[in-house]
Amino acid sequence: MSKTKSIALLAQEIDQHLRAVRQALREPVEAEFAEGRLTGPQRSVMHALVRSEGLSLKELSRQVGLAHSTVSGIVDRLEKQGLVERHSDGGDRRVTNISASRAVRNYVRKILPALEIHPIEKALGRAKPSERIAILKGLRILRRLTTSAEASTTAAPGPAR
């Protein structure tokens, strides 16, 4: 087997492992979101609001790529659930800013990070000390090789001609 072919096979196997790890890391967060029983568009709205300090309905509609009337209805439902709040703009009373509620902001700051890191902590707790060191070393090397200036200037292989 040629070096190029063996590297390609190794890259495919690493990709499969990384995908499986990402899926395992997302499971607790996805399960938590499923408990909230939010639709896909509602999650998109919440995601946009959590990343901002507050958005007008017009800006929120633009960010999530949905019609103004659709987003208005979503915000109404989320407000009834206590997930978002509406605030009048101090400079222009005709404009209402929408933001994630205090409870949601606290959740994103305090609970969500723990959900995201817990699977890694649990796995590392089951690993031998030598395995923990090997995992960290391997990830550091892979990160260095994939984020170095040399990696970004190397063109991806194209189809054979």
Q: Counting beta carbons within 10 angstroms of the beta carbon of residue 29, is it exposed (0 to 12), middle (13 to 18) or buried (19 or more)?
A: middle
Tokens describing residue 97: 């800013």
Q: Identify the pLDDT of residue 157.
A: 59
The model's pLDDT over 94-132, given as tens digits with 9 standing for 90+, comes to 788 999 999 888 888 888 888 888 899 999 999 999 999
Q: Identify the pLDDT of residue 161.
A: 41
Q: Identify the pLDDT of residue 147.
A: 92
Instruction: Please report the domains of the chain, with CATH numbers, ordered by start residue.
Output: 39-100 (1.10.10.10)
* CA-based radius of gyration for the chain: 22
**More confidently predicted of 7 and 94:** 7
The model's pLDDT over 55-77, given as tens digits with 9 standing for 90+, comes to 999 999 999 999 999 999 999 99
Nearest to 31 by CA among 146, 123, 115, 136: 115
**pLDDT for residue 31 is more than 60:** yes
Contact 71, 79 (CB under 8 A): no
